[in-house]
Structure 1
Amino acid sequence: MATKKLLVVAHAPSPNTRRLRDAVLAGARHPDIEGVDVACLAPLDAGPEDVLKANAIILGTTENLGYMSGAMKDFFDRSYYPCLEKTQGLPYALFIRAGHDGTGTRRAIESITTGLRWRQIREPLLCRGAYQESFQTDCEELGMLVAAGLEAGIF
């Protein structure tokens, strides 16, 4: 069986957002999941060549002024047209660290991924309000869900 590639592109500028990113990675790299190679890049380090190699992608961003981070926007600006006709149906999941409600961030990313014709595999995970330890558990479950689904051929 060929190894599948899961790409995590996460903007993690603070200790708490790094904890969320690391929880996603821990779930995706769960020892019971085999046959999935997990790569993690910051949005400014990721580009279309990384997306084109991926079988699924997890996006993670902070909410900045009611929008995605500038770094995530830059990632999409550089990747959109090179990926447009080549990544249709790419399964993706999204987590947002939102100090407020995250709806503007969610709407912006869903607009871009709809244009790319990527396939959302679950409702976005919105980690809203004051930081809670439960956010890490939720993020770990997200990573595990995507990697296990990729391994099983569901996505």
Structure 2
Amino acid sequence: MKRLLIVYHSQSGHTAQLADAVKAGADTADGIEVRCLKAFDAGVDDLAQCNALLLGTPENFGYMSGALKDFFDRTYYPLEGQLTGLPFAIFISAGNDGTNAVREIRRIATGYGWREVSEPHIARGEIQPADLDACHAIGAAMAEGLAMGIF
């Protein structure tokens, strides 16, 4: 069975809403094990065992959350060179524009050798139904892509 890992951090609850929508979308695919973990709870084994990854964070001071950065810090060297080509996508809750958080996640993902398979979704301000729909679609597309062998 293929595994989809969702790793996120939320302080205000906005990113958690997006993560719930991503997971709900991912849960629509048959034959995919979906794990949704807060960034501080996810570790090397979780990342090593997944076949695709969805990353969610609030924008903090124009950057990803410290919790997501901590996840990267704890997993990079133990898994260096082992996850080349891992498909991933990003979802962001932003008070500003979110683009710097996306840029920095992409820089780290490049170091891992991951492959971005979807444009990031950036929810700006209060979470809207369209944001939840977009995140549901990201989760569903990633899970269906795994199920069909696209990723």
1:12 CA displacement: 2.2
Counterpart of 2:5 (choices 4, 7, 21) is 7
Aligned pairs for 1:1-155 (under 5 A) are: 3-30=1-28, 33-155=29-151
**Structure-1 separation of matches of 2:116 and 2:19:** 19
Q: Contact (CA 8 Å) 2:15, 2:56: kept in 1 or not?
A: no
1:15 CA displacement: 3.1
**Structure-1 separation of matches of 2:115 and 2:53:** 10
**Structure-2 separation of matches of 1:143 and 1:65:** 26
Which residues of structure 2 form unaligned runs of 5+? none
Aligned length: 151
Partner secondary structure for residue 76 of structure 2: helix
1:100 CA displacement: 0.7
Q: Which is worse superposed, 90-99 or 10-19?
A: 10-19
Partner secondary structure for residue 85 of structure 2: coil
Q: Which amino acid aligns with 1:141?
A: A
Q: Which amino acid aligns with 1:119?
A: R
Which residues of structure 1 form unaligned runs of 5+? none
Cα RMSD between the aligned structures? Answer: 1.0
| TM-score, normalised via structure 1 length | 0.94
1:120 CA displacement: 0.4
**Structure-1 separation of matches of 2:41 and 2:72:** 12
Spell out structure 1 runs of 4+ moving beyond 6 A: none
1:127 CA displacement: 1.2
1:77 CA displacement: 0.5
